[in-house]
Amino acid sequence: MHTQVVIVGGSQSGLAAGYHLRRLGVDFVILDAQSTPGGAWQHTWDSLHLFSPAAYSSLPGRIMPPHTGQEYPDAQHVVDYLNDYEKRYELPVERPVRVLGVHRDGHFLRVEADAGTWRARAVISATGTWWRPFLPAVPGRSDFGGRQLHTVEYRSPQDFAGLHVIVVGGGNSGAQIAADLAYDTELTWVTQRPPRFLADDIDGRALFDASTARRRALDAGRTDTGGVASLGDIVAVPPVRAARDRGLLTASPMFTRLVPGGVEWADGARAKADAVIWCTGFRPALSHLAPLRLRGRRGQIATLGTRAVDEPRLHLLGYGDWTGPASATLIGVGRPAREAAREIAALLGTPQ
Ligand code: FAD
- Using one digit for the tens of pLDDT, what is the confidence trace for 114-144? 999 999 999 999 999 999 999 999 999 999 9
Which of 174-183, 193-202, 216-225 shows the lowest per-residue confidence on average (mean pLDDT)? 216-225
Quick check: 4 pLDDT over 80? yes
CATH superfamily, region 2-131+282-348: FAD/NAD(P)-binding domain (3.50.50.60)
Mean pLDDT, to the nearest integer, of 191-198?
92
- Return the pLDDT at 231: 59
Q: Please tell me the class of the 147-197+233-278 domain.
A: alpha beta
Listed ranges 21-25, 200-204, 224-228; the one with the highest mean pLDDT = 21-25
**Over the chain, what HEC string results?**
CECCEEEECCCHHHHHHHHHHHHCCCCEEEECCCCCCCHHHHHCCCCCECCCCHHHHCECCECCCCECCECCCEHHHHHHHHHHHHHHCCCCEECCCCEEEEEEECCEEEEEECCEEEEECEEEECCCCCCCECCCCCCCCCCCCCEEEEHHHCCCHHHHCCCEEEEECCCHHHHHHHHHHCCCCEEEEEECCCCCECCCCCCHHHHHHHHHHHHHHHHCCCCCCCHHHHCCCECCCHHHHHHHHCCCCCEEECCCEEECCEEECCCCCEEECCEEEECCCECCCCHHHHHHCCECCCCCECEECCEECCEEEEEECCCCHHHCCCCCCCCCCHHHHHHHHHHHHHHHCCCC
Whether the per-residue pLDDT at 62 is higher than 70: the answer is yes
With a 6 Å cutoff on the Cβ, whether 34 touches ligand 1 is: yes
Distance CA 161, CA 180 (A): 11
**Is the C-beta atom of 52 inside 6 A of ligand 1?**
yes
Q: 128 CB less than 6 Å from ligand 1?
A: yes
What ranges do the domains of the chain cover?
Answer: 2-131+282-348, 147-197+233-278
* Band of residue 73 on the pLDDT scale cut at 50, 70, 90: very high
Q: Is 86 in the pocket of ligand 1 (CB under 6 A)?
A: no
pLDDT at 154: 98
Nearest-atom index, ligand 1, CA of 151: 34
Hey, which of 45, 277, 327, 329 would you mutate to test ligand 1's pocket, going by the most ligand atoms within 8 Å of its Cβ? Answer: 329
Q: What is the mean pLDDT of the chain?
A: 93
pLDDT of 233 reads 82
Q: Are the CB atoms for 10 and 31 separated by under 8 Å?
A: yes
Query: For 87-91, what is the mean pLDDT?
Result: 97
Cα 14 to its chain centre, rounded Å, is 13
Query: Is the pLDDT confidence value at 212 over 80?
Result: no
Q: Is the pLDDT confidence value at 1 over 80?
A: yes
**Ligand 1 binding pocket includes 323 (Cβ within 6 Å):** no
pTM, 2 dp: 0.93
The reported pLDDT for the residue numbered 215 is 65
330 lines ligand 1 (CB under 6 A): yes
Instruction: Give the model's pLDDT for residue 324.
Output: 86
- Closest of 175, 145, 126 to residue 8, by C-alpha: 126
Q: Please give the pLDDT value at position 332.
A: 93
Sheet holding 303-304, edge to edge: 93-94, 28-31, 5-8, 122-125, 311-316, 307-308, 303-304
Mean pLDDT over 295-322 rounds to 92
Cβ count within 10 A of residue 77: 21
**Common-topology check for domains 2-131+282-348 and 147-197+233-278:** yes
- pLDDT category at 98 given cuts 50, 70, 90 is very high
The pLDDT assigned to 207 comes to 66
The confidence score (pLDDT) of residue 30 equals: 98
Report whether residue 20 contacts ligand 1, using a CB cutoff of 6 Å. no
User: Residue 330 CA: which ligand 1 atom is closest?
Assistant: 25
Q: Which atom of ligand 1 is nearest to the CA of 113?
A: 19
| Segment 71-77 mean pLDDT | 93
**Any ligand 1 atom below 6 A from CB of 285:** yes
Give me ligand 1 centre to Cα 318, in Å. Answer: 8
Q: Does ligand 1 come within 6 angstroms of the Cβ of 102?
A: no
More confident residue, 279 or 217: 279
pLDDT at 50: 92
* Nearest protein CA to atom 12 of ligand 1, as residue: 9
197-217: average pLDDT: 73
Per-residue pLDDT tens digits for 222-281: 666 555 555 578 988 889 999 999 999 999 999 999 999 999 999 999 999 999 999 999
